[in-house]
Structure 1
Amino acid sequence: MPDADPSDAELGRQEDWVVDAVEVLYGESTATVERFVHHLVTTGIEWGLLGPREIPKMWDRHVLNCAVVQELLPKGALVADVGSGAGLPGIALAIARPDVQFVLIEPLERRVDWLEMVVEDLELENVDVVRARSEQVFETVDVDIVTARAVSAMKSLVPMTVPLLHGSGELLAIKGKSAANEIEKADKVLRKFKTKHSEVLTVGDELLAVPTTVARLTYDS
């Protein structure tokens, strides 16, 4: 654990655009997301969920990169975050959107223990944590939207996420510049799972220095 709390400068939050983005995306929940970031850069690193080199990028490359996806979530939606890890994007989104319910699906015990600790500390009433591989809860979890970040390429991500929609809903996969290429390579898988529509979106264009790329797959039973 760090000897002292990282400063705003060390966390990459000294830039005006980062401060403004946090205010726009979190508003009255800013204090809560600051506590989340504190967990990420202390216990998150101590428990091995993140590396210390991520500290300077924690706001812009991690938390805000996830938070802007909230504009794609309709009010009252039920969202499953697959491979939630350090709560990115699940917890980052749950803090910003208390009107949306989240199920964080994570198979590794240490990560689940950390997620449960953070959810309790932040008093997030719209978050449940499930220790399982997504394939193990296909029958019991039925959601409107599935989110995933840095889990797998689309070709293998679709089979492990889309069944949670039970034929209707969306997969929102936070990706990099390879998103379109990944969708193209996954064409056979998309057809197998009866994907109605696929597209690559950028969100946060007006808030972030580098907008977030999202591969969105739509399903309709």
Structure 2
Amino acid sequence: MTASSPDALRGTVESGLAALGLDAALAGPLLDYLALLQRWNAAYNLTAVRDPRQMVVLHLLDSLAIAAHTEGLQRLADLGTGAGLPGIPLAIARPDLQVTLVESNGKKARFLREAVRQLGLANARVAETRAEALDEPGAHDAITARALAPLAEILAVGGHLVRPGGRLLAMKGQRPDTELAALPAGWRLEGVHRLDVPGLAAERHLVVVERLS
């Protein structure tokens, strides 16, 4: 049995879910999403990561490492979601969370719509637009972004989407101290959380920034 065989992949997903404190039953829909991503990736080049086991760690588990920080949220916008990361794994893990997948690239948006349809994600929708053009001021409890841009730039293009008291959940590699020092007025740092992604040795941090009333 190879490291990327279906049984081995399921084992990697299930052990990762256990390490993150998430239900093993999520493995099925997550692997369905991964299979769809692999099929579309051959033609649409949605992600540079092509090894299935790396996709599990770098895409699925990395996205789900912030799941605990979405507790209590009702509406989340994932800016520049690309192939649906972290938005689709979060929508799978949190069926009570309404996720807007914001993506301006037409090919990626087509994949996202097909993924939402095939996975039956009633709590996810696709907004094919740039974040700054999305006319939903204050409509979301939080926005998230994964390796999109510096914090100040994320807030410049997507901060209008967050309600007062809402948050930016920014996924970063190393702790971005320089970016933290350049937060714009009207926002305050709530915390920086080190993330432990199962199977990944590299540093990961979640920066939580609150929009002041």
Retained in 1: the 8 A contact 2:77–2:99?
A: yes
Return the letter of the residue paired with 1:136.
A
Offset of residue 46 of structure 1: 2.3
Provide closer, same or farther for how the CA distance between residues 117 and 18 of structure 1 changes in structure 2, counting only shifts above 3 A: closer
SS in 1 for 2:29: helix
Mapping of residues 46-65 of structure 1, within 5 Å: 46-65=43-62
CA distance in 1, matches of 2:87, 2:175: 22
- 2:144 alignment counterpart: 147
Retained in 2: the 8 A contact 1:26–1:95?
A: no
- 2:116 alignment counterpart: 119
Offset of residue 164 of structure 1: 0.7
Return the letter of the residue paired with 2:3.
A
SS in 1 for 2:143: strand
2:68 aligned with 1:71: yes
Provide closer, same or farther for how the CA distance between residues 21 and 55 of structure 1 changes in structure 2, counting only shifts above 3 A: closer
CA distance in 2, matches of 1:144, 1:171: 9
Offset of residue 54 of structure 1: 4.9
Retained in 2: the 8 A contact 1:179–1:200?
A: no
Retained in 2: the 8 A contact 1:18–1:208?
A: no
CA distance in 1, matches of 2:204, 2:31: 21
Retained in 2: the 8 A contact 1:174–1:214?
A: yes
Retained in 1: the 8 A contact 2:77–2:142?
A: yes
Offset of residue 99 of structure 1: 1.3
- 1:19 alignment counterpart: 14
CA distance in 2, matches of 1:116, 1:29: 20
Return the letter of the residue paired with 1:101.
Q
Moved more, 7-16 or 62-71: 7-16
Structure 1: any 5+ residue segments left out of the alignment? 1-6
CA distance in 1, matches of 2:10, 2:129: 39
- 1:130 alignment counterpart: 127
Q: How many pairs are equivalent?
A: 209
2:181 aligned with 1:200: no
Tell me the TM-score normalized by structure 1: 0.83
Offset of residue 9 of structure 1: 1.3
- 1:84 alignment counterpart: 81
Structure 2: any 5+ residue segments left out of the alignment? none
Out of 3, 8, 19, the residue aligned to residue 9 of structure 1 is 3
Out of 204, 214, 217, the residue aligned to residue 206 of structure 2 is 214
- 1:191 alignment counterpart: 184
SS in 1 for 2:174: coil
Tell me the TM-score normalized by structure 2: 0.86
Provide closer, same or farther for how the CA distance between residues 108 and 14 of structure 1 changes in structure 2, counting only shifts above 3 A: closer
Retained in 1: the 8 A contact 2:138–2:164?
A: no
Provide closer, same or farther for how the CA distance between residues 139 and 76 of structure 1 changes in structure 2, counting only shifts above 3 A: closer
